């Protein structure tokens, strides 16, 4: 064999009784298929006929019809649709302006939820295209969907496992289970160990008998659970839904009271029907009923969320559900996965400690200084040998971390012993040049031997490990081993020449982002599948105070109360299994905490789905991104403070505009009840109410919902709002009733009465708007002033006045309408001063 292409000596077969590495519970399964011959064609056909084939059902998470039904068929939409249809049938389409808000609500909801559906339906944990199996004693390439139970699957480096199985033969195989367990170290597998779909072969090869295929496999079960559609918890949405429920219950009797009152005000049902005045009664009833539905508040909330989502998208933050913008502003605990969140998810070469001939470690050389060492006259050969290990085409992930620091040396090996997790080392021999001899790179205990644990080199390796880093020892022997020695795994006496330190690359923005959360009163917790020592070291690097190692989650109690006690004392945990991650999130939620969870691996998917807010990294697994509410497309943790700011702006501004909308809902209900119960003609046409809504609510609320606001979340906004809006709304309704009775008592034209009622209502509404705008800024003061001007234009400009059927009242009634409006405003100011004040943070602009 040529020296240019030396044979690589494989690892020895692993003992069948060796324990499985890692902490995934792999079941020992009795194998039945001969690994040499595999299944016969008849056996494959029988399994296909039985459905034991690796095909996944592509069931949709949620049908488009279901989404349309949920968004269309609500009581509010039914009420608005009926009112709109009635007005169109009566030829009064000008009075149906209120329907546009309902249409916008439906469109926004359907588009957002259908987008989420498409992402969930596209969820895939496996990307395997074709696999190699043994059938009828021959190797065959088959599609993933053609694999059947009991197939003998051949795995080699770089393959992804397409279905669950058990190893029946191996020459040393390392499986990367990081996406399943969070364990960044590849796991050595033995004959009899189980393998899970979704893992990948990082080194070696194996024959695997498939035991669970199709929907029974681990990846399929996780996919099915992740596909379940659920809405992120939102206090705004919960509060609005509560209002919707109350109003929905009240709408049924309200419709009957209002319609009966308007018919009775026209002489009773028979007389109104006979005279044709029933049409006017129906139109006025429509105005009273449609005004009682707070569809504008729901629309403003959706718009505020949508605008925030668009702004975040420009910063590479994908919002997969609108209410998620609010979520991060409410959380008080953020749980972080180490790999892929705090760290980049890959190893980096930190430094190399050269060793003198007498075994004394020298000063450590940082990775960026290695090239300088290599080019110095008379430089030692170890940098070239170390570079060869890094650039070897079969280098494991740890050795690959050497590549950025050292260029390929272009050396031609004469013999190579490939890396094996069983030996935890690899070796190479060179016949010529300064690097002549045998070089070994591996774990300290594998290279130095058990009898050299007290040497200075071993102590240096222990120092590196104590800091949560990974240490390898590079050793050299002057004599190059030959191919026969490689096959017998015979190595000459070795002398250590360098200790190499590796560490996970901590994200540059991690420490500053965690400082921000701590300053905002958000508790930071770290959960990882890695060794507690490694997790603890990374935690300290990003500024999380920690004494000793992280808590070993293998000792976590299963009792909920005992688990809560542990979580109260320990915020950094290692060796956390996927099931434990979700259990920890649920325990924190049971403790009354609002939990955000970040992650990138499949092992994080269910915890992200369980958390109040799931955040995935853009380079993470498809399953994780599909179930997350937010995806950091560029993986930059530093975007999260901006998400918090956007969420706070939404909460603060929706609380601000909710006072306007809920005041309107209160006075609309009160007016409908008063005029219906007293059998008095309702004083507004639907289009006139649309005008007042636009002046005092719609246009101002649109601006107020989007202006900058820096706030800290304070729970209970609905209660604060209602303690002001209920008395304020009743006051407005009584003011309108008073001016209506005065106008009709003066026996003026009904249009003048309606216009007077509009003026009184608008004056009170503008005062409520002014309260919502406090403290005044130039923008907010301009909004109120502009609405006053718009009221004057609506009453005086002929084309506008005619469309809304306004008629300027005579002087006494005009003055009375303004005066009563001002008295009502004074009372509203009293209610404002008596009501609980907004927290200071909620009224301060950024």
Q: Which of 744, 762, 668, 342 is nearest to 534 (CA)?
A: 342
d(CA 465, CA 97): 70
CA angle at 563 for the pair 559 and 565, rounded to the nearest 5°: 125
Structure tokens at 425: 């080392």
Structure tokens at 293: 């539905």
Structure tokens at 17: 């009784």
CA angle at 123 for the pair 117 and 125, rounded to the nearest 5°: 165
Q: Is 707 exposed, middle or buried (0-12, 13-18, 19+ CB in 10 A)?
A: middle
> 606-633: buried (b, 16+ CB within 10 Å) or exposed (e) per residue?
bbbbbbbbbbbbeebbbbbbbbbbbbbb
Those residues with Cβ within 8 angstroms of residue 27's Cβ, 6 or more apart along the chain or in another chain: 194
Paired sense of beta strands 152-156 and 130-135, if any: antiparallel
Helix (H) and strand (E) counts for the chain? 31, 23
- Sheet with 365-366, strands from edge to edge, namely 8-9, 415-420, 425-430, 437-442, 470-477, 495-506, 343-354, 365-366
- For 562-617, the DSSP string reads HHHHHHHH--EEES--HHHHHHHHHHHHHTT--EEEEE-SGGGHHHHHHSSEEEEE
The dihedral region occupied by 234, where left means phi > 0, alpha psi between -120 and 50, and beta the remainder, is beta
Q: Is 396 exposed, middle or buried (0-12, 13-18, 19+ CB in 10 A)?
A: buried
The helix/strand/coil state of 798 is helix
d(CA 85, CA 348): 67
Q: Which of 144, 145, 131 is nearest to 207 (CA)?
A: 131
Q: Which of 175, 130, 204, 169 is nearest to 37 (CA)?
A: 169
d(CA 746, CA 739): 11
The torsion of the CA quartet 226, 231, 235, 239, rounded to 10 degrees, works out to -150
Q: Which of 593, 582, 707 is nearest to 225 (CA)?
A: 582
CA of residue 226 relative to chain centroid, distance? 13
Structure tokens at 356: 């003198």
Q: Indicate which residue of 150, 193, 337, 530 is catalytic.
A: 337
d(CA 813, CA 825): 18
- Active-site residue flag, 337: yes
Structure tokens at 127: 């990307």
Could you tell me if 570 and 553 are in contact, meaning their C-beta atoms sit under 8 angstroms apart?
A: no
CA of residue 698 relative to chain centroid, distance? 32
Could you tell me if 360 and 456 are in contact, meaning their C-beta atoms sit under 8 angstroms apart?
A: yes
**What HEC string does 396-413 produce?**
CHHHHCCCCCCCCCCCCC
Could you tell me if 586 and 540 are in contact, meaning their C-beta atoms sit under 8 angstroms apart?
A: no
d(CA 61, CA 277): 51
**What HEC string does 695-711 produce?**
HHHHHHHHHHCCCCCCC
The helix/strand/coil state of 357 is coil
Element (H, E) at 499: strand 495-506
Q: Catalytic positions, please? A: 337
């Amino acid at each position: 064999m040529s020296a240019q292409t030396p044979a690589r000596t494989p690892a020895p077969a692993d003992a069948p009784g060796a324990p499985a590495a890692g902490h995934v519970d792999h079941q020992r399964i009795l194998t039945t298929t001969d690994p040499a011959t595999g299944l016969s064609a008849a056996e494959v056909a029988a399994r296909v006929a039985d459905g034991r084939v690796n095909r996944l059902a592509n069931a949709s998470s949620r049908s488009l019809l279901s989404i349309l039904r949920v968004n269309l068929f609500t009581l509010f939409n039914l009420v608005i649709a009926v009112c709109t249809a009635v007005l169109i049938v009566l030829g009064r389409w000008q009075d149906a302006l209120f329907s546009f808000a309902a249409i916008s609500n439906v469109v926004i909801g359907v588009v957002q939820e259908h987008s989420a559906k498409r992402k969930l339906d596209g969820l895939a944990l496996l990307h395997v295209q074709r696999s190699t199996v043994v059938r009828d004693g021959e190797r065959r390439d088959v599609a993933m969907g053609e694999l059947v139970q009991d197939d003998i699957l051949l795995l080699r480096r770089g393959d992804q496992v397409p279905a669950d199985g058990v190893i029946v033969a191996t020459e040393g195989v390392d499986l990367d289970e990081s996406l399943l367990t969070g364990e960044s170290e590849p796991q050595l597998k033995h004959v009899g160990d189980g393998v899970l779909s979704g893992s990948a072969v990082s080194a070696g090869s194996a024959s695997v008998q498939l035991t669970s295929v199709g929907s029974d496999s681990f990846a399929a079960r996780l996919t099915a659970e992740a596909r379940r559609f659920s809405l992120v918890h939102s206090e705004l949405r919960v509060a609005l839904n509560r209002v919707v429920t109350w109003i929905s219950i009240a709408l049924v009797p309200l419709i009957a009271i209002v319609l009966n009152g308007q018919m009775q005000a026209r002489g009773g049902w028979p007389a109104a029907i006979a005279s044709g005045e029933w049409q006017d009664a129906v139109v006025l009833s429509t105005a009273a009923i449609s005004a009682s539905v707070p569809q504008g508040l729901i629309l403003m909330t959706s718009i505020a969320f949508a605008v925030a989502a668009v702004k975040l998208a420009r910063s590479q933050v994908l919002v997969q559900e609108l209410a998620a913008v609010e979520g991060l502003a409410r959380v008080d605990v953020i749980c972080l996965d180490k790999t892929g969140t705090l760290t980049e998810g890959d190893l980096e070469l930190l430094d190399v400690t050269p060793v003198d001939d007498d075994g004394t470690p020298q000063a450590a050389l940082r990775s960026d200084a290695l090239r300088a060492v290599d080019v110095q006259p008379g430089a030692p050969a170890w940098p070239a040998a170390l570079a060869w290990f890094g650039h070897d085409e079969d280098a494991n992930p740890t050795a690959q971390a050497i590549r950025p620091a050292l260029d390929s040396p272009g050396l031609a090996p004469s013999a190579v012993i490939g890396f094996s997790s069983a030996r935890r080392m690899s070796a190479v021999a060179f016949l010529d040049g300064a690097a002549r001899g045998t070089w070994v790179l591996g774990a300290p205990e594998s290279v130095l031997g058990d009898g050299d644990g007290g040497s200075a080199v071993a102590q240096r390796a222990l120092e590196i490990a104590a800091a949560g880093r990974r240490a390898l020892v590079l050793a050299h022997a002057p004599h190059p081993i030959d191919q026969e020695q490689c096959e017998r795994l015979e190595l000459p006496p070795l002398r250590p020449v360098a200790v190499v330190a590796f560490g996970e690359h901590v994200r540059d923005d991690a420490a500053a982002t965690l400082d921000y959360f701590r300053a905002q009163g958000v508790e930071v917790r770290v959960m990882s599948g890695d060794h507690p020592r490694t997790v603890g070291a990374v935690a300290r690097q990003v500024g999380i105070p920690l004494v000793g190692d992280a808590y070993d989650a293998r000792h976590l109690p299963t009792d909920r109360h005992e688990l809560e006690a542990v979580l109260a004392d320990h915020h950094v945990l290692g060796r956390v299994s996927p099931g434990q991650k979700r259990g920890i999130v649920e325990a924190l939620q049971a403790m009354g905490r609002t939990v955000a969870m970040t992650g990138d691996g499949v092992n994080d998917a269910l915890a992200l789905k369980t958390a109040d807010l799931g955040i995935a990294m853009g380079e993470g697994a498809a399953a994780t991104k599909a179930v997350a509410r937010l995806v950091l497309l560029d993986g930059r943790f530093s975007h999260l403070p901006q998400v918090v700011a956007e969420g706070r702006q939404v909460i603060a501004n929706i609380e601000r505009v909710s006072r306007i909308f809920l005041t309107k809902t209160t006075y609309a209900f009160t007016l409908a009840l008063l005029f219906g119960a007293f059998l008095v003609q309702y004083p507004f046409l639907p289009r006139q109410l649309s005008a007042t809504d636009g002046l005092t609510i719609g246009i101002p609320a649109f601006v107020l919902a989007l202006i900058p606001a820096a706030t800290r979340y304070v729970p209970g906004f609905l209660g604060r709002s209602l303690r002001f809006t209920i008395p304020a709304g009743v006051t407005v309704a009584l003011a309108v009733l008073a001016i209506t009775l005065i106008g009709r008592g003066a026996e003026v034209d009904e249009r003048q009465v309606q216009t007077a009622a509009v003026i009184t209502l608008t004056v009170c509404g503008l005062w409520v708007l002014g309260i919502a705008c406090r403290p005044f800024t130039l923008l907010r003061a301009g909004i109120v002033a502009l609405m006053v001007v718009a009221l004057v234009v609506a009453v005086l400009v002929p084309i506008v006045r005619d469309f809304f059927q306004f008629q300027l009242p005579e002087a006494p009634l005009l003055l009375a309408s303004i005066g009563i409006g001002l008295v009502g405003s004074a009372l509203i100011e009293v209610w404002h001063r008596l009501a609980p004040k907004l927290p200071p943070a909620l009224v301060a602009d950024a």
